[in-house]
Amino acid sequence: MRNSNSAIIGIDLGGTNLRFALLDMSGTILIRDRQPTEIDRGKDALLHRLTAGIAGIRDKAAGIGLKVRAIGAGAPGLILKDGTILSSVNLAPLEGLNLRSYLELQSGLPVTVANDANAAAYGEKSFGAGKPFSSFLLLTIGTGVGSGLILDNKVWTGADGLAAEYGHATIVPDGRSCPCGNKGCLEQYASANAIVLSALEAVQLGRGGPLASYSTGEITAETVARHAFAGDPLSLEIFNEAGRFLGIAAASIVNLLNIEAILIGGGVARSFGLLAGPMLRELSARAYNAIAARVKIISGALGDDAGCIGSAVLAMNSITRLNRLRLYKKQGE
């Protein structure tokens, strides 16, 4: 696929935002679009906006002389290899939908569908902070904690496509309840929601400091981060705890897989400077020295573009393999 007029659409279907991007075959983003997901309006409304968004990007591509060859989409939750959304806390109305088949029928194009964190990890591997590494774990820290695993330069998805749900690793037995049905999951202690919950619990216990001046609905992870960077002891303690739990989880995955790096992405990655220190200290204390010594803990480089880029590159790779297979079959005739 070296045709200079070819392009790929990458989609990041999140619980909050629906992002589209048009990429050329070198991975450069040419066009971006973003709109609220508004899953509360229901499945049909979301699918309509999804297909309309694709049509709009295709029209813009045609306007600059490009033809869209394929679509890649990333979505949160358990995504089977055939593109079926098996389970998604943030997009529950889409559960059971084969998103790949739906988008192929609507667009007439080849479609690749992946877990959003897996797609983001592949984006970082292809064009971001993961390029120097053949193995790493990307933790996307936002409303929850997603993860994507790169092993031997490939996305590791497991037997059914459901691997690397590391946000649901148990780090506190019988801890906070998680919507997944488990208790003590990592995302209940290191996500944006967890940071807010920790702040609210502290304020309710009468802890002082600037956080006490906010009403319940006004405290966000960004609010806590801002006060932590300003030196507020309580806010710093909350981020230290989140980083500590990330380090506990990181030590297990590092001991298991001997990966080279852990990348931090997602909205809370903007607070990387607050998380990296306690995370590294906990990792060093819990993992084997020889393994922990080589692990790099770094921030992702692609920001909000990671999911769209990774989804597009996965689609690009898929049609490249398909074209090679067709050529092989043709030569064998």
Q: Provide the CATH number for the domain around residue 294.
A: 3.30.420.40
Strand ranges (DSSP E) for the chain? Answer: 6-13, 17-24, 29-36, 67-75, 78-79, 85-87, 111-115, 136-141, 145-151, 154-155, 261-265, 296-299
90 belongs to a structural domain: yes
Mean of pLDDT values over 52-63: 97
How many domains does the structure of the chain reveal? Answer: 2
Write the CB contacts of 211 (distance below 8 Å, at least 6 apart in sequence): 199, 202, 203, 219, 223, 224, 227, 232, 234, 235
228 belongs to a structural domain: yes
Q: In angstroms, rounded to a whole number, what is the distance separating the alpha carbons of residues 261 and 84?
A: 30
Confidence tier at 332 by pLDDT (50, 70, 90): low
In this structure, the answer to whether residues 107 and 138 fall within a common structural domain is no
Give me the percent of the chain exceeding a pLDDT of 70: 95
323 belongs to a structural domain: no
Q: How many CB atoms lie within 10 A of CB 234?
A: 19
In this structure, the answer to whether residues 104 and 243 fall within a common structural domain is no
In this structure, the answer to whether residues 104 and 196 fall within a common structural domain is no
Predicted pLDDT of residue 3: 54
**Domain boundary residue, one of 87, 115, 143:** 115
In this structure, the answer to whether residues 140 and 198 fall within a common structural domain is yes
pLDDT digits (tens, 9 = 90+) for 213-223: 999 889 999 99
Map residue 193 onto helix, strand or coil: helix
266 belongs to a structural domain: yes
Confidence tier at 299 by pLDDT (50, 70, 90): very high
In this structure, the answer to whether residues 213 and 78 fall within a common structural domain is no
- Give the range among 75-84, 157-166, 303-312 with minimum mean pLDDT: 157-166
310 belongs to a structural domain: no
Q: In angstroms, rounded to a whole number, what is the distance separating the alpha carbons of residues 161 and 130?
A: 21
**Domain boundary residue, one of 86, 115, 144:** 115
Confidence tier at 2 by pLDDT (50, 70, 90): very low
In this structure, the answer to whether residues 155 and 283 fall within a common structural domain is yes
Question: How confident is the prediction for the chain on average, in pLDDT?
Answer: 92
In this structure, the answer to whether residues 137 and 16 fall within a common structural domain is no
Q: Does the pLDDT value for residue 201 go beyond 60?
A: yes
In this structure, the answer to whether residues 105 and 34 fall within a common structural domain is yes
Q: Does the pLDDT value for residue 82 go beyond 60?
A: yes
Predicted pLDDT of residue 199: 97
Mean of pLDDT values over 148-174: 93
CB-side neighbour CA atoms (13 Å) of 57: 27
194 belongs to a structural domain: yes
Confidence tier at 230 by pLDDT (50, 70, 90): very high
Predicted pLDDT of residue 321: 61
122 belongs to a structural domain: no
In this structure, the answer to whether residues 246 and 220 fall within a common structural domain is yes
245 belongs to a structural domain: yes
Range of the domain at 216: 129-301
pLDDT digits (tens, 9 = 90+) for 86-101: 999 889 999 999 999 9
Q: Does the pLDDT value for residue 329 go beyond 50?
A: no
pTM: 0.90
In this structure, the answer to whether residues 52 and 100 fall within a common structural domain is yes
In this structure, the answer to whether residues 87 and 140 fall within a common structural domain is no
Predicted pLDDT of residue 319: 81
**Domain boundary residue, one of 54, 81, 115:** 115
Q: Does the pLDDT value for residue 283 go beyond 80?
A: yes
In this structure, the answer to whether residues 168 and 27 fall within a common structural domain is no
Q: Does the pLDDT value for residue 294 go beyond 50?
A: yes
